[in-house]
Amino acid sequence: MGTHPSGPSKVFGTDTPLSAVVDECSEQALGPKVASKYQGQIPYLFKVLSIEKALSIQAHPDKQLAQKLHSERPSVYKDGNHKPEMSIALTDFIAMSGFRPLNEISGFLDTYPEFQALVSNSAAGFKQAAATGSEAEKKQALKQLFAELMNAAADDVARELQKLVKRIGGQEQSDAVSPQALVVRLNSEYPDDVGVFCVFMLNVLCLQPGDAFYMGPNDPHAYVSGDCIECMATSDNVIRAGLTPKMRDVPVLVDMLTYDHGAPDAKLLKPTGLIGTQHSVIYDPPIEEFAVIRTQLEGGQSEKFEGMAGPQILIVVDGEGVLTDSDESYVLAPGYVFFVVADSSFTVRAAAGKPLVAYTATCQL
């Protein structure tokens, strides 16, 4: 949902792209600040994703790197923008994001000899740095470990992964997100892929509906399963390294990452009450391009939104109701999407006996 040329929204019942509506009067549609800063374009992409098969281990560049990659390889990196992202779980949702605490990775090197075999040149130095090194030394050792893993020969990866799956595959897995259970699952989806071993290096996030996490530039992540709302800055730039049949750019990925590490809770983004509303919360990541509002109404309840300074895209994910502005009323049902121009007030009302849930992306400068 948005105006990005790779997948532009269209006005319902027509072939008119949303971008054409915005272009007619971008200052009115987006608000003068957003229109000026983002060259008359909606600065975010808004998505609903349903993950049955894991999506690739990837990261997105910051603006400086994005501009460099776009200049050097425009056929691969098609724009010069960064792509920070936020995901909000609609169902139970499993993802990987950021590097684990280093003591956990050290423990996995001892527990899983197949993992250690692929990083034998850097494992000892990593363990030493993890135990006693400075923060700079820890990050450098983590980078060396990750680089050795990602650059391991395909034959070596296949051999060690097959040994690992054979050793643990017959064991009963009571925890679906344990490292062993994830290894078996991911290898069934991407056989002999080096990305399976990232289970031992990346945090695993287990989200409940309404939980959210933020993925900043140069931050490794992957989606494993579940449904989510996703919002991101307007860009196509993806740098992949595992769990994918698509192009991998391992040298760029290894070099670009921040190698921040720590507990998974640091990745979570807590919503706060939206000022002036009774039934809405806002997920507001530390970037300017977007925030997302979640509105939950019981049957018959309503929520009024006073004019916001930037453009909004609203999608209904559950329930039925009516959206009313100063002139008209519109039916709301799951999958219905509305573009709301800047400074427009409107009311969302749930039908009697029909609880309603909607998500609204917005940009407020």
Largest CA distance in the chain: 69
Q: Are 47 and 230 in contact (CB under 8 A)?
A: yes
Question: CA 97 → CA 8, 213, 255, 343, distances in Å?
Answer: 28, 9, 17, 36
Count of CB atoms within 10 A of residue 153's CB?
A: 10
**Cα(4)–Cα(147) distance, rounded to whole angstroms?**
33
- Residue 294: burial class (beta carbons within 10 Å; 0-12, 13-18, 19+): buried
Question: CA 201 → CA 69, 98, 116, 278, distances in Å?
Answer: 26, 8, 12, 41
Segment holding 258, helix H or strand E: none
Alpha helix positions (H), the chain: 18-24, 26-30, 32-37, 63-72, 102-111, 113-118, 123-132, 135-150, 154-168, 179-189, 250-256
**Cα(136)–Cα(39) distance, rounded to whole angstroms?**
39
Q: Are 327 and 284 in contact (CB under 8 A)?
A: no
Query: 159, 167, 185, 240: which one is catalytic?
Result: 240
Active site residue 240: yes
**Cα(192)–Cα(188) distance, rounded to whole angstroms?**
9
CA nearest neighbour of 291 among 305, 311, 276, 277: 311
> Between helices 135-150 and 102-111, what is the axis angle to 10°?
40
Strand partners, 207: 93
Residues marked as catalytic: 240
